[in-house]
Amino acid sequence: MRRITNCEVCGSNNLISALDLGSQPMCDDLVPVGSPLKPRSYPLEILACPTCFTFHQAVQVERELLFPKSYHYRSSLTADVIDGMKELVNSTQNHIGNLSGLTVLDVGCNDGSLLSIFSGEGAVTCGIEPTDAFKDINSSVYWKYQGYFDDEAVEAFLEKNDKPDIIT
């Protein structure tokens, strides 16, 4: 875990605690009811930067703990999530117009649910996903990469694609 002491956007060290929920288990760290096992807890505090008006998680948990290869959640299984994705695509169309031919890059695309909706509107879809949900991505996705969003992923993307028009 790494504690943030400076704003990750502007570098200011004038961060203010905006919300502190104490230690919390990760949302998908499930243990059977009645089990003596306890999920690991992590500090959950949000810091505000009054200089650039951004918010940051005070303590950053390692990405491999947050999104292990065996991550079991799939976006396509939750109707409310799909509805929210449809609203996002509609909102995007309302702001920029026709999506046909535009390149959409979804970072942390899970099973590709959002990309499928963008694809249905004619967008060229690309996804980056570190977990095994990658294996469930629909074949209509033009380009996909299994890994975390880092310099290596960006380089792999730019080797095969122009800069994306939309990043989610």
Q: Where are the domains of the chain?
A: 2-61, 75-167
- Integer distance in angstroms from the first to the last C-alpha of the chain? 25
Which pLDDT tens digit goes with each residue over 66-100? 898 988 889 999 999 999 999 999 999 999 999 99
pLDDT of residue 101: 97
CATH top-level class of 75-167: alpha beta
Q: Which tens digits make up the pLDDT trace of 34-62?
A: 889 888 899 999 999 999 999 999 999 99
Question: Would you say 67 and 88 are in contact if contact means Cβ atoms under 8 Å apart?
Answer: no
pTM over 0.85: no
Q: How far is CA 149 from CA 23, 53, 94, 120, 125, in A?
A: 26, 24, 28, 25, 16
